[in-house]
Amino acid sequence: MVTYKTGDVVEALKNKEFDVLVHGCNCFCTMGAGVAHQIKTAYPEVWEIDKMTKRGDETKLGTYSSIGVEDGRTIVNAYTQFDYHRTETPNVRYKAIIDVLEKVRDDFPDKKIGMPKIGCGLAGGDWEIVGWIVENVFKDREVIVYEL
């Protein structure tokens, strides 16, 4: 079951509205813009864990890195796009979103998930597609999607 809320996903994590924050990342360990930058600023250790992965490695697509933060909550860097440069076509990879969300679903079976409209900000994805993916991957789970 997906619930939509208006608000800041980072503040929602701090307010303990969910257990696991999943956000989209590129494969170049930048976290320089969008929600990723916001998370990097609030939780620098998230970027440190991202930098421990191989920069520019396309095989990261569909996988994630993660780190525990206060009170047993976790932040997941979901590798859903290869590059970060704006192009005429979206950078998001829908297959990567499916793969990583299935891993998150299986790896955090008893946790409430929160996320922005993953892959649909700077990565240029279509929420009609991504929303359908989220609904289908988490059909029996509570997920909160935050919109600014």
* Range with lowest mean pLDDT among 45-54, 72-81, 84-93: 84-93
Three-class DSSP category at 66: strand
What pLDDT, on a 0 to 100 scale, did the predictor assign at position 43?
A: 97
Name, in order, each residue with C-beta under 8 angstroms of 137's C-beta and a sequence gap of 6 or more.
98, 101, 102, 105
What pLDDT, on a 0 to 100 scale, did the predictor assign at position 9?
A: 97
> Taking 90 as the threshold, does the pLDDT of residue 65 lie above it?
yes
Instruction: Report the pLDDT averaged over residues 113-141.
Output: 93
**Contact, 25 vs 83, CB < 8 A?**
no
In whole angstroms, what is the distance from residue 47 CA to residue 43 CA? 8
Query: pTM of the entire structure?
Result: 0.94
What pLDDT, on a 0 to 100 scale, did the predictor assign at position 138?
A: 96
Instruction: Report the pLDDT averaged over residues 113-136.
Output: 93
